[in-house]
Chain A
Amino acid sequence: MSKSGVLLNSFRQFSSKNVTPKVCVVGAGPAGFYATQQILKVKPEAKVDILEKLPVPFGLVRFGVAPDHPEVKNVINTFDKIAKDDRVQFLGNVDVGKDVKIEELKNLYHAIVLTYGAEYDRTLNIPGENLNNVIAARNFVGWYNGIPCDKNLKIDLSGEDAVILGQGNVAIDIARILLSSVDRLKTTDITSHALEQLAESKVKRVWLIGRRGPLQAAFTIAELREMLKLPNCKTFWRPNDFTGIKDIVANLARPRKRLTELMLKSLDEAPHDKRNFDKEFHPIFLRGPTEFIGTSNIEKVKFSVNELEGEDLLKQTAKATDKFEDFPCNLAVRSIGYKSKLIDPNIPFDVKSGKIINSDGKVEKGLYAAGWVATGPMGIIISTMNNAFKVGQIVSIELDLSEDKGGYLDLKNLLNERGINVVDYHGWEKIDHEERKRGKSVGKPREKIVEISEMLKIALN
């Protein structure tokens, strides 16, 4: 190495030693918090700023996880610790892509980690999808969980039959909420507007309809077991859906085996189950939606009768036959998955799969993606966590500290100049406090505030 090269090199080493690594995380859901945690672990001298579109943090832990599953939300205690770390700043009410551009963030930070989740829903693109009371799962969940834009969702629960298209855990959550007694829900943090409407609900039967068979069912066993034990509700299976399954169940790998065994057990026990029930849960397999039918309101959903094809039993795909079956209903909820949106034209994005183009979390130099926006809307918090840990580690290792960056102070100035009311973590704590207070007076852990303007008023006061 030439003398000047050595000099330059040692200069770089010297200078980068004094540069504080500054990382910007976009989206305050599980991926954002877990990535932050990992970055601080690998680079204890780093500073991490978490930008969040809403005035309130925690993403789908607040707005997705069902109100009757409060234990799942215990992860918030970990997130709370992370947010209160001196090296971390929470900047709520900052809509990245709109209030500040990715290019601008690139100038202010050594690395950016995009963890803005998957907030949009997939459509089926079949006729009748716009009929009244054909509702996206995302909006239904947002309605009972208090996502501000879903507070006025128009939903009619005056009919007895609800069809849910899709059989994932989100579909099960919705089925459970529709089939639960109000007594079971009224002590949760479900929104009061949803509780009021559910109290008047006439829904008696929920049809949970999937395109493939029991061996490909997407729900997991804990969620199914909960449905089977739901008070005042009985589960009905169609024996034909299980033809041949008994013979192969012994050869399946454990999780699939236990899930399938539980379905078979429930199928066998159903005739002897003498519990009282008013409500019915009907998982239906091998039916693919082809049309929503009705004049202005949904009246029935038309399904093709499907067959399975493919060698690998667990990965078989559905193929429509020329037969059809109709399911009359007064409400149809489409629960076939979420997808992400491009928030800034400078992010490489695959519109078809609805996620950011990345390789193991890396998008390009200094730009990374983790969680649902990177992996697609798959899996549970633990899978999001593992992904975010991995990406957080790569970010930390690859940090290029050859120049100093403006970070938090410069960003704060920029946002101030633009008139953005940034909600810091203390602001969120005020909202949190108010929500708990309102909840207490009605016997709930919290009463979520669903107006952004009201959140801001409390936080910025």
Chain B
Amino acid sequence: MALRQKVMAFSRAMVPQTISKSALKAARSDQSALIFRRLLSTTNPQAQNKEVSVTFIRASGEKIEAKGKVGDSLLDVIVNNEIDLDGFGACEGTLTCSTCHLIFSKEDYDKLPEKPTDEELDMLDLAYDLTDTSRLGCQIILSEELNGLQVRVPATINDARS
């Protein structure tokens, strides 16, 4: 079962009501729900989840290919694959830091199912090298449609060296 559905099923079990998509979205923007979901997504050992491949492109042009599962955030993918990006994800996905800033192609950006919330945009406003197609990696949840996604990691000190 995809993780999103699992969360839904879980919430259904807890709250005996049907949870609409918008309600889920509202819950997602709630921080505790977000943290809870992250916990689930990083500790879930079940491997049946569909794999999604993502390529991270450093400012130097270097490409890093990684695999994640449906329901993982892009921050999870970076953490789980131990991709070495200095300082990435400092607040651990709680929408309080902007170090997980990633840049999408216009096409992918428009395709992302969930538009950024005000709170995400507020944090992005503090990001370095902000673009019109910037998002925070901890807020992007992988779905099957995103398989093959390529995202740019904005210039960091790490890349300045290479």
Contacts and interface: CB of A to CB of B under 8 A. Distances in A.
Q: Do A and B come from one complex?
A: yes
Interface string B80-106: 000000110011101111110000000
Contacts of B158: 389
A74 B91 contact: yes
Contacts, number: 74
Given A71-B94, A386-B157, 6 more contacts: A71-B31, A255-B126, A258-B121, A381-B90, A382-B87, A389-B87
Interface residues of A, number: 28
Contacts of B21: none
B157 A390 contact: yes
A258 B125 contact: yes
13 contacts: A34-B87, A71-B91, A71-B94, A71-B95, A71-B96, A74-B92, A75-B97, A77-B92, A221-B125, A255-B125, A259-B125, A382-B90, A389-B156
Contacts of A41: 86
A386 B128 CA distance: 10
B157 A389 contact: yes
B122 A69 contact: no
B118 A382 contact: no
Contacts of B91: 71-72, 74-75
Contacts of A393: 157, 161
A221 B126 CA distance: 9
Nearest to B127: A382
A259 B128 CA distance: 17
Interface residues of B, number: 26
Contact of A389 (B86, B92, B97, B123): B86
Contact of A221 (B86, B96, B122): B122
Interface in A4-43: 34, 37-38, 41-42
Nearest to A391: B157
B30 interface: no
B122 to A, nearest CB: 4
A46 interface: no
Nearest to A73: B91
Interface in B143-162: 156-158, 160-161
B95 to A, nearest CB: 8
Nearest to B91: A74
B43 to A, nearest CB: 16
Contacts of B123: 222
Interface in B105-148: 118-119, 121-123, 125-126, 128, 130
A418 interface: no
Contacts of B157: 38, 386, 389-390, 393
| A interface: dominant SS | helix
B121 A225 contact: no
A225 B121 CA distance: 12
A225 B95 CA distance: 14
Contact of B96 (A37, A69, A77, A389): A69
B104 to A, nearest CB: 16
Given A225-B119, A389-B158, A380 B86 contact: no
B122 A225 contact: yes
Nearest to A77: B92
A198 to B, nearest CB: 23
A72 B97 contact: yes
Contacts of A38: 86, 157
A78 to B, nearest CB: 7
Nearest to B99: A382
A367 interface: no
Nearest to B130: A254
Contact of A222 (B99, B122, B130, B156): B122
A34 B86 CA distance: 9
A381 B97 contact: yes
Given A254-B130, A255-B125, A393-B157, A385 B90 contact: yes
In the complex, the 3 A-B pairs of residues with the closest C-beta atoms, listed nearest first: A71-B94, A255-B125, A389-B157
A187 interface: no
A218 to B, nearest CB: 13
Nearest to A42: B161
A42 B119 CA distance: 35
A127 B160 CA distance: 49
A89 interface: no
A96 to B, nearest CB: 26
Most buried by A among B94, B95, B96, B158: B96
A78 B90 contact: yes
A225 B96 contact: no
Contacts of B94: 71, 74
Interface string A53-87: 00000000000000001011011011000000000
A239 to B, nearest CB: 24
Contacts of B97: 72, 75, 381-382
A128 to B, nearest CB: 36
B99 A385 contact: yes
A192 interface: no
A382 B128 CA distance: 9
A220 interface: yes
A254 B95 CA distance: 19
Interface in A217-262: 220-222, 225, 254-255, 258-259
A229 to B, nearest CB: 10
A259 B125 CA distance: 9
